Structure 1
Amino acid sequence: MSEITSLEALEALYGQPSQRAKNKVMFELDEYAQTLINHSHFVLFTTNDEQGFTDISPRGGQPGFIKILDNKTLLMPDSSGNNRLDSFKNILANPKVGLLFMVNGIDEVVRLKGVASLHTDETLKSMCPDGNKAPKIVIKIQVESLYFHCAKAVMRAKLWNDTYRVDRKILPSLAQIMKAQQNNPDLVAATQEEMVEYYKSTL
């Protein structure tokens, strides 16, 4: 199997992008990006640790849970989790982040790169309620670049319909998975129904 190790070999295989594709990168949030972000209820958030490895964290909330402060700044609230704080630790080590904004019913997505910082300022926290309460931390993201990504991937995945929907029962509950993975008899193996009730109580 031949490995591609140079830019020249890569471009020879694929050719050059169209002028439209080259020119689609923006450096601030225009009205179209703002509209999609204001309707987005699910985001994939990437951070990088000090070794350069990338981590991806799903973030969700009501549509527009990530707030637009201005055309160069976003505010993302912290939500209750497991206190591993992986994304926060990564931001302290390397503030460069990426976000992929998705909206149910729209096949195009917005890809954004930025520089993140962590804040406990009460004014910022009040702008980003996590449900009915203020978050402990707000992630402020200075926009570096962004662009709309075409619909092909979401269309191939048939993401917004039930074509590839599976029965949850193909996997045991997360608690049961973790008990098996950690080989720890002391862990409680809650059922999926019990896990769902736990999730609801801690949203």
Structure 2
Amino acid sequence: MIRTTEELYQLYPEPKERALKKQLSRLDRHCQRFIELSPFVVIATGNASGFDASPRGGEPGFIKVVDDLTLVIQDSPGNNRLDSLKNIVESGQAGLLFLIPGIDETLRINGAAHVSVDEEKLQLFASEKRAPKVVIEVTVEEAYLHCAKAFMRSKLWADESRRERSVLPTMGQMIHEQIGRSGSPESQEEMLARYAQDI
């Protein structure tokens, strides 16, 4: 088991200058454009009890760039577990990974975060189907474009990588089994119809 960073660096070379210098302390025009084009982000949060990575999606531009240090993310309707929100309230931090379909590079942002009910921030999402109860405001501390290697290895966007939904049981069937419920599980069609009310 590796227990120190010194042990790690006995196995790995030092990062190259380019990998270090590309880390920015604010959003330049390329980072801002990446966010504007992204319909999907993973929010990573944690607290003393554990960690969470939560997917969030919407039309490109669903995350608002207020300025070169500030992002605002609406809390869209979900499962009401509030894992990310609770973690942010407790830790005051979040990491974001932005994806754009068809593009292998990603954008990583780390920073201070808080949950807000500020009316001015909520109004940024006034045109949404459902106004959010809260928003997540992230103050950028680190921003950098991540190389394409992981997506190239996975071929995530390639047509041949796509799988038919039928390779897995329906979500209803899987959860039904996991929690030991009796009766008939929710069908895929019923689930999609239910989700459509919140999208």
| TM-score when normalising by structure 1 | 0.92
Q: What is the letter of the counterpart of residue 169 of structure 1? A: S
Cross-structure match for 1:56: 53
CA contact (8 A) 1:109 1:148 kept: yes
Q: Which moved more, 1:116-125 or 1:141-150?
A: 116-125
Residue 153 of structure 2 corresponds to residue 142 of structure 1: no
User: Which of residues 146, 160, 164 is equivalent to 1:163?
Assistant: 160
Q: Quickly say closer, same or farther: Cα 1:129–1:153, change in 2 above 3 A.
A: farther
User: Which of residues 44, 48, 55 is equivalent to 2:42?
Assistant: 44
CA contact (8 A) 2:125 2:132 kept: yes
Residue 149 of structure 2 corresponds to residue 133 of structure 1: no
Residue deviations 1:103-135, cap 9 Å, x none? 112211111101111112222112124733321
Residue 86 of structure 2 corresponds to residue 86 of structure 1: no
Consecutive unaligned residues in structure 2, runs of 5 or more: none
Consecutive unaligned residues in structure 1, runs of 5 or more: none
Q: CA RMSD in A?
A: 1.5
Residue deviations 1:122-174, cap 9 Å, x none? 22112124733321111111111111100111111112222221121122222
Matches within 5 A, 1:110-129: 110-129=107-126
Matches within 5 A, 1:67-82: 67-82=64-79
Distance in 2 separating the partners of 1:129 and 1:45: 22
CA contact (8 A) 2:93 2:114 kept: no
Report the number of matched residues: 199
Percent of aligned positions that are identical: 43
| TM-score when normalising by structure 2 | 0.94
Distance in 1 separating the partners of 2:115 and 2:187: 36
What is the SS of the residue equivalent to 2:34? helix
Cross-structure match for 2:32: 34
Over 4 Å off, 4+ runs: none
User: Which of residues 185, 190, 196 is equivalent to 1:189?
Assistant: 185
Cross-structure match for 2:17: 19
Q: What is the letter of the counterpart of residue 54 of structure 1? A: F
Q: Quickly say closer, same or farther: Cα 1:37–1:24, change in 2 above 3 A.
A: same
